[in-house]
A and B are shown apart, each in its own frame.
Chain A
Amino acid sequence: MADPVLSIRNLTVGLPVKLDRKNAVTGISFDVRPREILCVVGESGSGKSITSLATMGLLSPGLKVTSGSIDFDGRDVLKLSNKERNAMRGDQMAMIFQEPMTALNPAYTVGAQIEEVFRIHRTLSAADRRAEVMRLLEEVRLPEPKRLYDAFPHQLSGGQRQRIMIAMALALDPKLLIADEPTTALDVTTQAQILVLLKQLNERHDAGIMFITHDFGVVAEIADRVVVMRHGEIVEQGTAEEVLNNPQHPYTRALIDAVPRPMTEDTTPEANENPVVIDVQGLNKTFTTSTGMFKPARTVTAVNNVSFQVKRGETLGIVGESGSGKTTLVRCLMRLIEPDNGAINISGVDFAAKSRSELRSHRKDIQIVFQDPYGSLNPRRTIGSQLIQGAINFGIPRKEAWDRVYKLLDIVRMPHDSVNRFPSQFSGGQRQRLCIARALVVQPKVLIADEAVSALDVSIQREVLHLLNDIRDRLGLTVIFITHDLRVAAQICNEVLVMQYGSVVERGGVSQIFNAPSHDYTKALLSAQPGQNWDMPVFDEGDTLAKI
């Protein structure tokens, strides 16, 4: 076996004092060998990004490596001077970041930005540089390299930008490529393409790839070896085969158990005799953006003639990639955005026809939980005052309102003393529970969850999904569940709407969508799910994550 390009030994990175743990990373050791893809997996806060930044020498000033060594190509990176490190970065060691939208400088063409790598590290003539850039653009499978050379980042899609980032990283044929969640911000179909590209490149180049991710599906797709991290420590490492199919550590087993399962059994939903709660007919919404005083305005159809019905006690999933119009659709349902036309009938009230002031008394029937647990609670108000607000708005006496708040805190399994605290004192998952409680305080008939679990770690995601199901059954709610992730939709929904470019392309029961999709787009979405060939082992240790 080839000598490792990167070998990290006993690395410990200290955190500034007064934080909840002493070290960001404690005594970790692993190797990356040429031509191999090593996946570092962990939930948020596990120290996986810190490890990659320490390797690149890009740690933020508050963090210091307190012990250990990072040997790259025979030299200890930690002992290099800034100048030596700069010469090494981009040349022998390159990095791809998570957010392709911000990783490129919007003021320069992408061609110039790729060329810059050559300008810094090599002495090439202008013509040679241009030729090299063209070769790279072709290598990462970008169409029309000549046209793209002069394109600015904002003219490219997220997937194209990430390809540009990969081209920049590969420009000088580095020995080590660090990819920090490179596909997390991308749509699932784009993610599948990028993963394929990385695998192909891995076969042609000698580079070792250190791939950081939180998604076991992605791991199953590309990893040769896997390192599992938790609270800054390595809990398990081994070949992909071993870790995925026969994990030893209880944490790894619990993590794999929490991964949403693909739908396998063929369950036909039992006929639901309940009345229809939501009846949407021919809903349209077009956005007009003015591009300047003298240019014609541009129109984007966000929701195009959408109609559907949901019966009481059902969960309807709305699945689609970014820009498919799913969020606009539900915001129109709630009249947070004004729809252009169409009828929205929610338990007998036409939401679309009412004026805004008439609507206020009906608003309690339909409530929403948002994606971002950090932006959906007011940081300056106590939890209690935010939870009780809705009930007070609808004229419920204070005492009864507090009773409701405490009862809901029990339902979402949060302690009663949460009411005196501020949002900053809760984690993402806890905040999401509080948001659910806030939505339920007015006793709605319909609850909308807009990507409500997408920002959460898998283990917490699973808990919140269970909670939502539980609440739906206990309170007889109707739920609209919006997600980009078909696996998540399969866990919670009875029926699924698949949206693309503002239109519903397919609708059906969960098993029908998964086992016999009829529309090409649904098929494409399904085949793009990472980790399909991985037969996930079942450990049934569902609650162990909470215990360990």
Chain B
Amino acid sequence: MTTPVSTSAHTSPTKQVLRQALNHRGVMFGAFVVLAIIFIAIFAPMLAPHDPYEQILSRKLIPPVWFDSPKTTWDHILGTDHLGRDYLSRLIYGARISLMIGFSAMLISGVIGTTLGVCAGYFGGRIDNVINFVITTRLSMPVVLVALAVVSLMGSSLTVVIWVLGLLIWDRFAVVMRSATQQVRGLDFVASAEALGSTTPRILFVEVLPNILNHFIVIATLEMAHAILLEAALSFLGLGVQPPDPSWGLMISEAKGLMFFDGWLIAIPGTALFLLILAINLLGDGIRDVTAPENRN
């Protein structure tokens, strides 16, 4: 009994989705926080009050301004770490690293996973079997352990971390894109495009991909959050971003010795991490609600 209702004569599905997104609280909150953090990351040199690498040992471990301590100063709003570096500046520069890793790793894994998934779903048969085997192999590898092993063998740097994560977390893309492609492939407009003489790449890019894009966006947000968390974990274990680069995970790691005396050293980067992940996940959930309400679970 659900007859499609035309809101106006020439609204494209994309525009309708945008309009719904503007009315969705999760999307708006998530998008606002993510955009704010992206803004901070891009303009870090202008926003950071101090050099994040500058160590002033005479000014170490100043608590944030809201603490009741004679050492607090508005010069260091969030205080300083155990080497006297300004914590706010390090947090701001840390956003760059988190976003960079999240985005790049998501992009790499997205390309790998989507290619595999779409090929498996569209061509089926033997190709599907082979790709399924690759996916199962990947799923049986523990991500963190493999990442640790590879990073410790190759030596850790930002680039290595990005590539290792990107090459590891494409599994969800592949699985979801595969089943989404299978669904679209069975629809008559694909058969009709084939009958009208469209080439296979054309069918894939024009008929199939636009119809599975919403799944891609949802998985992309989830995997971005996943990559950011994995980077934080790797850095915490000392195998991710190397000091003195400011990464949120590394900041937590460097503060772990002082956890019981200066808890805020961990709470501040932890909160930043939490906010970013929450916002990305809300954004992803919201996009799913808006683009494909029937997939809600």
Chain A residues within 8 Å of B, Cβ to Cβ: 18-20, 24, 45, 49-50, 331, 334, 336, 360-361, 363-364, 366-368, 370-372, 375-382, 386, 389-390, 393-394, 417, 420-422, 424-425, 427, 435, 438-439, 441-442
- With a 10 A CB-CB cut-off, give which of A334, A371, A425, A427 has the most chain B CB atoms: A425
Q: Are A424 and B1 in contact (CB under 8 A)?
A: no
Q: Are A439 and B192 in contact (CB under 8 A)?
A: yes
20 further contact pairs, Cβ within 8 A, besides A367-B195, A367-B196, A393-B202: A24-B1, A45-B1, A50-B1, A334-B195, A360-B197, A370-B192, A375-B187, A375-B188, A376-B189, A378-B211, A379-B13, A380-B14, A380-B210, A382-B12, A394-B197, A421-B9, A435-B192, A438-B192, A439-B195, A442-B197
Across the two chains, which residue of chain B brings its CB closest to A20? B5
Given known pairs A367-B195, A390-B197, the reply for A376 and B206 (CB within 8 Å) is no
Q: B14: which A residues are within 8 A, CB to CB?
A: 380
Q: How far is the CA of A372 from the CA of B192 in the complex (A)?
A: 12
Within 8 A of A (CB), among B184-202: 187-189, 191-199, 202
Q: How far is the CA of A366 from the CA of B196 in the complex (A)?
A: 9
What are 29 inter-chain pairs, A to B, with CB distance below 8 A? Answer: A19-B5, A20-B5, A45-B3, A50-B1, A361-B197, A363-B194, A363-B196, A370-B188, A370-B191, A375-B187, A376-B192, A377-B189, A378-B206, A379-B13, A379-B211, A380-B14, A380-B210, A380-B211, A382-B12, A389-B198, A389-B206, A393-B198, A394-B197, A420-B10, A424-B6, A425-B4, A427-B3, A438-B196, A439-B192
Q: A50: which B residues are within 8 A, CB to CB?
A: 1
Q: How far is the CA of A336 from the CA of B12 in the complex (A)?
A: 30
Q: Are B196 and A390 in contact (CB under 8 A)?
A: yes
Across the two chains, which residue of chain A brings its CB closest to B187? A375
Q: Are B13 and A422 in contact (CB under 8 A)?
A: yes
Count B-side interface residues using an 8 Å CB cutoff.
28
Q: How far is the CA of A42 from the CA of B222 in the complex (A)?
A: 47
Q: A439: which B residues are within 8 A, CB to CB?
A: 192, 195-196
Within 8 A of A (CB), among B1-35: 1, 3-6, 9-14
Chain B residues within 8 Å of A, Cβ to Cβ: 1, 3-6, 9-14, 187-189, 191-199, 202, 206-207, 210-211
Closest chain B CB from A394 CB (angstroms): 6
Q: How far is the CA of A124 from the CA of B63 in the complex (A)?
A: 74
Q: How far is the CA of A401 from the CA of B3 in the complex (A)?
A: 32
Q: How far is the CA of A102 from the CA of B14 in the complex (A)?
A: 32
Across the two chains, which residue of chain B brings its CB closest to A378? B189
Q: B207: which A residues are within 8 A, CB to CB?
A: 378
Across the two chains, which residue of chain A brings its CB closest to B186? A375
Across the two chains, which residue of chain B brings its CB closest to A441? B196
Q: How far is the CA of A368 from the CA of B192 in the complex (A)?
A: 7
Across the two chains, which residue of chain A brings its CB closest to B213? A380
Q: Are A49 and B1 in contact (CB under 8 A)?
A: yes
Q: How far is the CA of A331 from the CA of B188 in the complex (A)?
A: 12
